[in-house]
Amino acid sequence: MSVYARPGSPDALMSFESRYDNWIGGEWVAPVEGRYFENPTPITGQPFCEVARSTAADIELALDAAHAAAPAWGKTPVAERAIVLNKIADRIEANLEKIALAESWDNGKPIRETLNADIPLAVDHFRYFAGAIRAQEGALSEINADTVAYHFHEPLGVVGQIIPWNFPILMATWKLAPALAAGNAVVLKPAEQTPASVLYLFSIIGDLLPPGVVNIVNGFGTEAGKPLASSPRIKKIAFTGETTTGRLIMQYASQNLIPVTLELGGKSPNVFFSDVLAADDGFQDKALEGFTMFALNQGEVCTCPSRALIQRDIFDDFLALAAVRTKAVRQGDPLDTDTMIGAQASNDQLEKILSYIEIGKNEGARVITGGERAELGGDLSEGYFVQPTIFTGTNDMRIFQEEIFGPVVSVTSFADYDEAIAIANDTLYGLGAGVWSRDGSVAYRAGRDIQAGRVWTNTYHQYPAHAAFGGYKQSGIGRENHHMMLDHYQQTKNLLVSY
Ligand code: NAD
Q: What is the CA radius of gyration of the chain?
A: 23
Q: β-strand 260-263 against 237-240: which pairing, if any?
A: parallel
Task: List the alpha helices (DSSP H) in 392-465.
Answer: 398-401, 417-425, 440-449
pLDDT tens for each residue of 278-337 = 999 999 999 999 999 999 999 999 999 999 999 999 999 999 999 999 999 999 999 999
Q: How high is the pLDDT of residue 352?
A: 98
Confidence of residue 371 (pLDDT cuts 50, 70, 90): very high
Q: Give residue ranges with CB within 6 A of ligand 1.
A: 162-166, 189, 191-192, 220-222, 225-226, 229, 240-242, 245, 248, 263-266, 302, 403, 405, 431, 471, 476
Distance of CA 62 from the midpoint of ligand 1 (Å): 21
Cβ-contact 343, 374 below 8 angstroms: no
- The predicted structure's pLDDT at residue 136: 95
pTM score, two decimals? Answer: 0.97
- pLDDT tens across 137-178, in order? 999 999 999 999 999 999 999 999 999 999 999 999 999 999
Per-residue pLDDT for 1 more than 90?
A: no
Burial 155-168 (b: 16+ CB within 10 A, else e): bbbbbbbbbbbbbb
Mean pLDDT, rounded, for 432-454? 98
Q: What is the DSSP string of 259-318?
A: -EEEE-----EEEE-GGGGSSSSHHHHHHHHHHGGGGGGGG--TT---EEEEEGGGHHHH
Say what the pLDDT of residue 37 is: 98
The rounded distance, in Å, linking the Cα atoms of 306 and 410 is 6
For residue range 111-134, what is the model confidence (pLDDT) as tens digits? Answer: 999 999 999 999 999 999 999 999
Q: How confident is the model at residue 442 (pLDDT cuts 50, 70, 90)?
A: very high
Residue 265 has pLDDT above 90, yes or no: yes
State how far the Cα of 465 lies from the Cα of 468, in Å rounded to an integer. 8
User: How close is the Cα of 239 to the center of ligand 1, in Å?
Assistant: 7
pLDDT value of residue 50: 98
Strand order of the β-sheet with 19-20 is 19-20, 47-52, 36-40
**Enclosing H/E stretch for 366:** strand 366-369
ipTM above 0.90? yes
Q: Is 80 a catalytic residue?
A: no
Of ligand 1's atoms, which has the minimum distance to the CA of residue 248? Answer: 18
Torsion of the alpha carbons at 254, 257, 261 and 262, rounded to the nearest 10: 0
Q: What is the reported pLDDT for 238?
A: 98
Give the distance (Å) from ligand 1 centre to CA of residue 275.
Answer: 38
Q: Of 103, 113, 192, 263, which residue is the catalytic one? A: 263
pLDDT value of residue 122: 98
Q: 428 alpha carbon to ligand 1 midpoint, in Å?
A: 17
Pocket test for ligand 1, best of 54, 59, 125, 162 (most atoms within 8 A of CB): 162
Q: Which atom of ligand 1 is nearest to the CA of 266?
A: 34
Task: Give the pLDDT confidence score for residue 300 in this predicted structure.
Answer: 98
**233 and 156 in contact (C-beta within 8 Å)?**
no
The greatest distance separating any two alpha carbons of the chain, rounded to the nearest whole angstrom, comes to 80
